[in-house]
Amino acid sequence: MKETKYIFVTGGVCSSLGKGIVASSTAAILKSAGLKVAIMKLDPYLNVDPGTMSPFQHGEVFVLDDGAETDLDLGHYERFIDTPLSKFCSITTGKVYSEVLAEEREGKYLGGTIQIVPHITNKIQQKVELAARKMKADVMVVEIGGTVGDIEGEPFLEVLRQMKKKHKDNLISMHLTLLPYLAASKELKTKPTQISVRTLRAAGISPEFIFARSDVKIPRKILKKIAFFCDVDEDCVIPSETVSSIYEVPLRYEKFGLGETLAKKLNLGDLKFDLAEWEAGVDKIKRTKSEVVIGLAGKYNDLDDAYLSVIEAVKSAGYFHGKKAVIEWIDTEKIGNDDPEERAKLEKVAGIIVPGGFGNRGIEGKIKVAEFCRTTGKPYLGLCLGSQIMAIEFARNVLGIKKATSEEFDIDENDIEAGYINGKKYHVIHFMEDQNIHRKKGGTMRLGLYPCVIKAGTKAREIYGTDRIEERHRHRFEFNNKFREKFEENGFIISGQSPNKNLVEIVEIKDHPFMIASQFHPELISRPFRPHPLFREFMAASLK
Ligand code: GLN
């Protein structure tokens, strides 16, 4: 394609309507016709990136191959379009401002007055175009975070207005709104949608598409009404009714002819959309009735968003084996206090995952969970922190190092930030002295894709079917190599390590049905219809 096409997605009326799913589904449909599609997120908040935001407020931090710490929507994007994205695909107001202000300090603006328009908006525009170039996208889908009308979002809408002028027929915008249902009068109301579109108009934007979100079926006449009042073509009002699986959304849109309408509007030429893989996948999801219960022993209980990728990977693994995976949240603080009801859950679930995490809340409980799994043969999958927990438990209860722990739980966060290395004898997990030679980026976190070599004859080797893999990381602490021999002599297998053999990457317990953990985050590269091998085999073991 000669020129890049842009599709902007905005949201109105209220948040949480699923703009990310609209963006992802649209991109998936276009990708199915063989186009090179990428998706990016413009987040209006002032944090420079979501790396430091609490999962309580913001859900999981999604890490990309290049180590960028991004919004969880990037996870949806990658799962829907099955394409690794890059740091260029995640922009926040904070990032834009910090760059513009740094340039101002360097004198790059030659004494000029720095303003939101044009300096901030130009910077955003450059970043959008740069992302499209870097991703070599035929179509760049751009999601603007927040809700139309938010003060923070205004510069982004102005960018959309300016880019529409510049890219003309190569840019369209989609607006997602909510149709509230009034039970008393049995009506879906379109007024909030009309007002939201009016707000967009005031910003100089007339959306080409309206996606109408509703929990009930939307009658044809309502769609027509929206088309008329919001001045869009009738085939451009797309019903977005709540479905049981988000992966059904692209199929719904395509049934409504979205691909073809887009091809027309954006002059994409003659395209053939093939969603056969989606149909098969969704069909399997819908046919699956029988359940398997998987325990999740994390820190943020009942907070699906904090473990979004883990839950998606578990579900995908479940469907792969014809089971609907149900998550049982295990409260590790209660387990730490030997709460009998909570402990009973450990027996009940088919397998247990100890996911990633930071800080020492619930750590003793997690160690008890690992002990339970090791001694009873219950399948255990450890993700990042879950691998460190597995080592600590083994050190305490098999090697007899009673005080074994991780340096993370033993010293002050501030000391870690300051690069202080404590190095107590019982730190089986520690902060490496020469840690920075193992980090691509600055800072103490190991972020993004790193290679791992898998040892022959191990379970990991069997699961992966290869001896060299690359996986995404986000952690600070490492297995302490001083303990290697002692661990290995006693049945703790180090089945994966960095090519220079310095960093432990995968561990497993000898002769256990399935007790495996990784220092990396396999959930980040799992796909809805192609579960990550570790999750797939963890599920297989849990179903035995
Ligand atoms: N807190 C641990 C570390 O920094 C584990 C991090 C994680 O689970 N992502 O190494």
pLDDT in tens, 461-506: 999 999 999 999 999 999 999 999 999 999 999 999 999 999 999 9
Which atom of ligand 1 is closest in space to residue 386's alpha carbon? 8
pLDDT at 432 over 80: no
Q: Which distant-in-sequence residues (6+ apart) come within 8 Å of 108 by Cβ? A: none
Q: Half-sphere exposure of residue 362, counting CA atoms within 13 Å on the CB side?
A: 22
With contact defined as beta carbons under 8 Å apart, do 299 and 335 qualify? no
Answer for the pair 217, 168: CB distance below 8 angstroms, yes or no. Answer: no
What are 80's two structure tokens?
A: 């829907």
Distance separating alpha carbons of residues 60 and 73, to the nearest angstrom: 10
Both tokens assigned to 467? 């001896």
Which of 360-364, 447-451, 453-457 is the least confident region?
360-364
User: Is the pLDDT at 332 greater than 90, yes or no?
Assistant: yes
Give residue 299 CA to ligand 1 midpoint distance, Å: 12
List, for residues 498-533, the tens digit of each pLDDT value: 999 999 999 999 999 999 999 999 999 999 999 999
Two structure tokens written together for 64: 């990309």
Tokens for 450? Answer: 């790193």
CA of 64 to the centre of ligand 1 (A): 16
Contacts of 281 (CB under 8 A, 6+ apart): 247, 319, 528, 529
The tokens of 449 are what?
């894709």
- Nearest-atom index, ligand 1, CA of 358: 1
Atom of ligand 1 nearest to the CA of 521: 9
Give the number of other Cβ atoms within 10 Å of residue 359's Cβ.
11
Residue 124 near residue 96, CB atoms below 8 Å: yes
Q: Which of 2, 92, 13, 100 is nearest to 53 (CA)?
A: 92
pLDDT band with cut points at 50, 70 and 90 for residue 435:
low
Q: Which of 62, 127, 93 is nearest to 447 (CA)?
A: 62
Q: Is 66 helix (H, G, I), strand (E, B) or coil?
A: coil
The 3-class secondary structure across 83-105, one letter per residue, is CCCCHHHEEEHHHHHHHHHHHHH
**What's the pLDDT band for 444 if we cut at 50, 70, 90?**
confident
Out of 358, 431, 432, 471, mutate this one to test ligand 1's pocket (max ligand atoms within 8 Å of CB): namely 358
* Ligand 1 atom closest to 359 (CA): 1
Residues known to be catalytic = 384, 521, 523
Percentages helix, strand, coil for the chain (3-state, rounded to 5) are 45, 20, 35
Q: Whose CA is nearest to atom 5 of ligand 1?
A: 385
In the reported structure, the alpha carbon of residue 474 is separated from the centroid of ligand 1 by a whole-number distance in angstroms of: 7
Ligand 1 closest atom vs CA 383: 8
Tokens 């060299």 -> residue: 468
292 in Cβ contact with 325 (< 8 Å): yes
Closest CA to 275 of 27, 499, 502, 521: 27
Q: How far does the centroid of ligand 1 lie from the alpha carbon of residue 504, in Å?
A: 13
Q: What are phi and psi of 227, to 5 degrees?
A: -60, -45
How distant is the alpha carbon of residue 398 from its chain centre? 36
List Cα–Cα distances, 32 to 8, 216, 251, in angstroms: 19, 28, 11
Whether 259 and 236 have beta carbons less than 8 Å apart is answered as no
- Residue 49 pLDDT > 90, yes or no? no
pLDDT of residue 13: 86
Asked if pLDDT for residue 203 goes beyond 70, the answer is yes
User: Whose C-alpha lies nearest to ligand 1, atom 8?
Assistant: 356
Nearest to 297 by CA among 378, 379, 358, 356: 356
What is the set of domains in the chain, with CATH numbers? 5-282 (3.40.50.300), 289-543 (3.40.50.880)
Read off the pLDDT of residues 232-253 as tens digits, 9 standing for 90 and up: 999 999 999 999 999 999 999 9
User: Helices 19-31 and 258-265, interaxial angle, to 10°?
Assistant: 80
- DSSP β-ladder status, 139-144 and 62-63: unpaired
Pocket of ligand 1 (CB under 6 A): 356-358, 384-385, 408, 474-477
CA 528 to centroid of ligand 1, rounded, Å = 25
C-alpha closest to that of 155 among 194, 195, 114:
114
**CB neighbours of residue 419 within 10 Å:** 11
What lies within 8 Å, CB to CB, of 219 at 6+ separation is 188
Instruction: Say how far apart CA 62 and CA 131 lie, in whole Å.
Output: 18
Pocket test for ligand 1, best of 60, 61, 445, 475 (most atoms within 8 A of CB): 475
* Overall pTM surpassing 0.75 (yes/no): yes
Torsional class of 348: left (φ above 0), alpha (ψ -120 to 50), beta (otherwise): alpha
List the single range of 54-58, 390-394, 445-449 with lowest mean pLDDT.
54-58
Which residue out of 392, 408, 439 has the highest number of ligand 1 atoms within 8 Å of its CB and is therefore the one to mutate?
Answer: 408
Which tokens is 180 given? 């509230």
pLDDT in tens, 62-99: 999 999 999 999 999 999 999 999 999 999 999 999 99
For residue 508, give the H/E element and its range: strand 504-509
Question: What is the H or E stretch that residue 336 is in?
Answer: helix 332-336
> DSSP labels for 122-190?
HHHHHHHHHHHHHTT-SEEEEEEPS-TT-TTTHHHHHHHHHHHHHHGGGEEEEEEEE--EETTTTEE--
Average pLDDT of the chain is: 93
Residue, of 58 and 133, whose pLDDT is higher = 133
CA of 217 to the centre of ligand 1 (A): 44
Q: How far apart (Å, rounded) are the C-alpha atoms in residues 544 and 525?
A: 25
Using the 8-state DSSP alphabet, how is residue 15 labeled? Answer: S
> Quick check: bond before 192 cis, omega within 30?
no
- 179-185 LR contacts (CB < 8 Å, sep 24+): 179/212, 179/213, 179/214, 179/218, 179/222, 181/214, 181/215, 181/216
Q: Which residues contact 260 (CB under 8 A, 6 or more apart)?
A: 271, 273
Residue of 477, 518, 519, 523 to mutate, ligand 1, most atoms within 8 A of C-beta: 477
CB 29 within 8 A of CB 258: yes
239 and 210 Cβ atoms separated by less than 8 Å: no
* Separation of CA 351 and ligand 1 centre (Å): 22
- What is residue 1's three-state secondary structure? coil
pLDDT band at 51 (very low <50, low <70, confident <90, very high): confident
